Amino acid sequence: MVDCCSAPGLMPFAQALETMLAAISPITEIENITLSEGLGRVLSNDITSPINVPPHNNSAMDGYAFAQASLVAQSSLHLVGRSMAGQPYQGICGEGQCVRIMTGAKMPEGCDTVEMQENCQAENESVRFLAQRNKGDNVRYAGEDINQGHEVFAKGRRLSAIDIGVLASLGIDDLKVFRKLKVALIATGDELKSLGEPLGDGDIYESNSYALAGMLKNLNVNIIDFGVIVDDENAIRTAFMQADEQADAVISSGGVSVGDADYTKLVLEQIGEIAFWKIAMKPGKPFAFGKLPNSLFFGLPGNPVSAMVTADLLAMPALLKLQNCHSAPAITLKATTLTELRKSPGRMDFQRGVLSYNNDGALMVNSTGSQGSGILTSIASANCYIVLPTEQGRVKAGESVNVRLFERFYS
């Protein structure tokens, strides 16, 4: 694997992402599930519609159905019956005739147009039409939502709540989806305490795995939480090996740089194939990606902001690929920065910002303030990254910058 550390300089962010994605083969195992289990699952085949939706021409209004040609000459039609939703009119509606019709009811044979009841005066069996209608008005056509045989969703689509509704409208109850991924989470650090434990001198509460578990819920994966592992080579090796036996991907945080207690890289070199990268991005310079015997490995930096940003921008896209999932590219916009942005050339910055409109409707972005890699609230209060290119230096207030909206992983 590529080892960027031996190369002079840092690896550009785009190259790191591309190299990592190229090394990932998506899973192939498929499961059969029912539609009610489908939310958040990834389709393993294209879905074409077995029927027209709607299946028949029907009325968009409560009113009267008739043949538009028969109304041109006369303003009253003879009422011959009614068509209700689910109880169609069985006869043929002839010239000079109309049928009482309700929203969603099948269009009677012989009818091509509907007038809403507010524009009609019914008296006994005669209906007076107060307005003229064009042929086809207020009719919903068979197949106007989805045509039979038409591809509705492609393989790789993650099913949303609306997708589930669309599939139900097609009468589809059996789905083939890729199986769920299993992702192991490991936090490393002697100073880390789990919630509920007292903090000793020099300790902090472990937060990365909680936030990462939340991000992973958006990918609908099964999480295997290994908790906190101390900074000890053997303990880390044992945890990584156990995680590798159980998971498709292992995500650790901490111990990935080159400090005295940083064992991630060392252990990975022993038991797997590892690419350790210094990426030209801020936050998140040290990042390990590699393969263990059975799983992918992502070694995130320990600093909470660096861990979240590298998870969002590198690990999540990798897991999406592993899941076979197609995802829309992130939305990037141009906005005017309201504040000066401190930056030195050399790395691509993903500063945290709040995007909003000013009174003239122009997009403005405000920095969330201190951008230190330990300040997790700098993400909590943001809705976007302010993406500053590698060679960019300080940005003055009033200048235009690229802004990338947060994806759903942070929600």
Q: Which positions touch ligand AMP (CB under 6 A)?
A: 187, 189, 191-192, 204, 206-209, 253-257, 259, 301-304
**Which of 146/192 has CB closer to ligand AMP?**
192
Rounded to a whole number of angstroms, the minimum distance from the CB of residue 242 to Mg ion is: 20
Instruction: Tell me if 277 sits within 8 A of 267, measured CB to CB.
Output: no
Q: Is 255 in the site for Mg ion (CB under 5 A)?
A: yes
Instruction: Tell me if 365 sits within 8 A of 335, measured CB to CB.
Output: yes
Residue 304, preceding bond cis, omega within 30 degrees? no
Query: Which amino acid is residue 209, in one-letter code?
Result: S
**Which of 95/197 has CB closer to Mg ion?**
197
Q: How far apart are CA 291 and CA 276, in angstroms?
A: 11
**Which of 191/349 has CB closer to Mg ion?**
191
Q: Which residues pair with 352 in a beta bridge?
A: 385
> Which residue among 38, 63, 110, 254 contacts Mg ion (CB under 5 A)?
254
Rounded to a whole number of angstroms, the minimum distance from the CB of residue 185 to ligand AMP is: 9
**Which of 61/268 has CB closer to Mg ion?**
268
Rounded to a whole number of angstroms, the minimum distance from the CB of residue 343 to ligand AMP is: 22
Query: In the 8-state DSSP scheme, what is residue 109?
Result: B
Burial (CB < 10 A; 0-12, 13-18, 19+), residue 213, is middle
Instruction: Tell me if 334 sits within 8 A of 400, measured CB to CB.
Output: yes
Rounded to a whole number of angstroms, the minimum distance from the CB of residue 278 to ligand AMP is: 13
Rounded to a whole number of angstroms, the minimum distance from the CB of residue 223 to ligand AMP is: 15
**Which of 196/329 has CB closer to ligand AMP?**
196
- DSSP letters of 312-363? IIIIHHHHHHHTT---PPPPEEEEEESS-B---TTSEEEEEEEEEE-TTS-E
392 binds, among ligand AMP, Mg ion, none (CB under 5 to 8 A by kind): none
Taking alpha carbons only, the member of 324, 331, 262, 333 closest to residue 299 is 262
Q: How far apart are CA 344 and CA 391, in angstroms?
A: 8
Here the tokens at position 203 are 């300790």
Q: How far apart are CA 113 and CA 196, in angstroms?
A: 69
**Which of 27/213 has CB closer to ligand AMP?**
213
Rounded to a whole number of angstroms, the minimum distance from the CB of residue 258 to Mg ion is: 11
253 binds, among ligand AMP, Mg ion, none (CB under 5 to 8 A by kind): ligand AMP
Burial (CB < 10 A; 0-12, 13-18, 19+), residue 208, is buried
Query: In the 8-state DSSP scheme, what is residue 311?
Result: I
**Which of 227/369 has CB closer to ligand AMP?**
227
- Three-class SS of residue 214? helix
Q: Is 317 in the site for Mg ion (CB under 5 A)?
A: no
What are the distances in angstroms from CA 204 to CA 199, 208, 299, 310, 372?
6, 11, 20, 21, 17
> Which residue among 63, 110, 156, 189 contacts Mg ion (CB under 5 A)?
189
Rounded to a whole number of angstroms, the minimum distance from the CB of residue 188 to Mg ion is: 6
**Which of 140/237 has CB closer to ligand AMP?**
237
Rounded to a whole number of angstroms, the minimum distance from the CB of residue 208 to Mg ion is: 11
Rounded to a whole number of angstroms, the minimum distance from the CB of residue 400 to ligand AMP is: 34
**Which of 5/51 has CB closer to ligand AMP?**
5
Would you tell me the crossing angle of helices 233-246 and 264-271 to the nearest 10 degrees?
A: 50
Tell me which stretch binds Mg ion (CB under 5 A): 52-60, 182-190, 371-379, 380-388.
Answer: 182-190
The residue ranges that bind Mg ion (CB under 5 A) are: 189, 254-255, 302
